[in-house]
Structure 1
Amino acid sequence: MAATLFHGRSDSLPSRPHPLMSQLDDHICRLRASEATSASSTSISHKLDVLQDLHECVDKLLLLPLTQQGLAQENNRKCVDELLDGSLRLLDVCNSTKDALLQTKEYCLELQSTIRRRQGGENGLAIEVRKYLTSRKMANKAIKKALTNLKGLENKCSFSCIDTGNEIATLVNLLREVQAITLCVLKSFLTFISGPKAQSKPSHWSLVSKLVLHKRIASEEGETQENEFVMADAALEFLVGCKTECKYDNYMLMDNVKSHLKNLEVCIQDLEEGTQSLFRRMVKTRVSLLNILN
């Protein structure tokens, strides 16, 4: 574990384990342990918080003069370059996540506003619903592309550990592990936003069963762990596919849609704040790596 690293005396790093190493170890262990948990907005929000703490520890470690001296050595520049490349790719993934959240939020808020004002009557509302569903398909397409691009980064992060018997190599291996766990969380995040893998267009009854199951789980457990993105999509798909006359004036249908859209809005707000904070922290870490080479 990280807490046991850097025992030997070195010209580049302290001879005793730095307290930051124990903190890094703790954060990594917490994130690894959470990989087996079911994906929910609550769990993802928690992982984003832990990731911020993890990258804060990394940044503090990179600011240590002895760490900078060790990584700045000519024979370690290639490792630092690889870490910089990984950090840039992670920032691109984080940006893709932010874009997906922002796009969905904009259409969600516009749809909620249309429902409140009933602007354009039934036809106007139907148009906004279809705009939202179309935007979700576009966002999911972009996410699918981003997930495909992640395969190259996963290979980068899964390189075999360097074993040269020195503390700098141990540090590089640890920083690679940080990038790997960050990638894992962001990948899970993107998958959560897009929902399950695209299947054939859901039938009327499959949408009904999904919504009914959601209510049953919520009532039995007191709170739901369902995916807010998926539930909002299902409610709107059900609405546009419903054959009931005057469906947009049906109180139960509209109440269900408004409820899921509100839950989605709250979910996005929370995840958006966590993503923005993580992005800023990752930028700061990248700047610290760049300063080491300059």
Structure 2
Amino acid sequence: MAAIEPNPKICLHLRSNSFRTAPHPLVSQFEEHLNRLKSSESASSASSLSHKVCGLQDLQDSSDKLLQLSTTQQVLAQDWSQKCVDELLDGSLRLLDICSTAKDCLVQPKESLYEVQSAIRRRGTEAALTVGAANYLASRKNVKKAIRMALGNIKGIRNDLIVKENDMLSMLKEAEAVTVSTFESLLCFISNQKGQSKQSRWSAISKLMQPKRVACDSQERGTSEFEKVDAALKSLIRQKHASTDNLQGDLENLEMFIQDLETGVECLSRKLIRTRVSILNIFND
């Protein structure tokens, strides 16, 4: 008797309750990472942001492993329309664009930050310190402008992230939504934005994620590393003779935060590229 080929849809069991078989371990792993990010506390501090970026790295690793399964590839290649493929590829490009913006917004202030630190360590003149502070604040102004544009773009893509079905496309779109929301929290944190309307900002994506809070909406969070340095340097420029004792510690904390996030976002970028390549390979074979 000829062997009966297993149905790849049943083997993979993409979160359908109609099958009695257990989901593939990689599907369970993917959902575990996804649910952990969706249910985690708002990224309203440097440490929580770093933790969520690491969580996104784990989610992308899990996504890529899932895409490497032959059963997954069969399901995608056989059942997906060109529209579904385009949606997924467009989404991966959006994530890479947002990721690139986040990297730029972390890198841009670094040079002027070093300039201020150097002036303090060398006990430079007030003029040198003031110039360094002014350069840093100018860089921050440019960063905030770029972030406003990025947040506007994010607002424009939320409707594309609403999940309607329990299938592989929806799973990957959920991952995209969680990634977008974390980047949004990061960008809001960098630009010191808060107090915006939760209803208007999250009306679409909340249908998917139902987050407890988001960083931009938090009125109770403490002062961020960026806020502390911004305020201190503005005060220094106004007062001329302001003490730099506390400023040095704030600058060092901000430097470590930027370095930590920059490393994490760079690693995440590589993983996003790898996942995109995996998707392209499935549909180009």
| TM-score, normalised by the number of residues in structure 2 | 0.81
8 Å CA contact retained: 1:23, 1:57: yes
Partner of 2:227: 230
Out of 260, 263, 280, the position equivalent to 1:290 is 280
**Count of residues in correspondence between the two structures:** 245
Q: 1 CA distance for matches of 2:43 and 2:181?
A: 14
Out of 244, 251, 260, the position equivalent to 1:261 is 251
String of CA shifts for 1:128-182, please: whole Å, max 9, x gaps: 1111111101100101111101122222112x413xxxxxx61111111010001
Change (3 A) 1:182 1:27: same
String of CA shifts for 1:174-219, please: whole Å, max 9, x gaps: 1110100010100001000000259xxxxxxxxxxxxxxxxxxxxx
Deviation at 1:75, TM superposition (A): 4.2
Identity %: 47
Change (3 A) 1:185 1:149: same
Q: Secondary structure at the match of 2:254?
A: helix
Query: Residue type matched to 1:196 in 2?
Result: Q
Query: Residue type matched to 1:161 in 2?
Result: K
Query: Residue type matched to 2:168 in 1?
Result: L
Q: Secondary structure at the match of 1:73?
A: helix
String of CA shifts for 1:257-286, please: whole Å, max 9, x gaps: 111111100111111111111111111001
Q: Secondary structure at the match of 2:108?
A: helix
Partner of 2:115: 110
Which ranges in structure 1 are unaligned for 5 or more consecutive residues? 1-8, 163-168, 199-223
Partner of 1:137: 141
Partner of 2:131: 127
Residue 97 (structure 1) aligned with residue 102 (structure 2):
yes
Out of 21, 29, 33, the position equivalent to 1:23 is 29
Q: 2 CA distance for matches of 1:27 and 1:11?
A: 23
Q: 1 CA distance for matches of 2:123 and 2:101?
A: 33
Q: Runs of at least 4 residues of structure 1 off by over 6 A?
A: none
Deviation at 1:226, TM superposition (A): 3.3
What is the root-mean-square deviation of aligned Cα atoms in Å? 2.0
Deviation at 1:13, TM superposition (A): 5.4
| TM-score, normalised by the number of residues in structure 1 | 0.78
Change (3 A) 1:127 1:30: same
Residue 161 (structure 1) aligned with residue 164 (structure 2):
yes
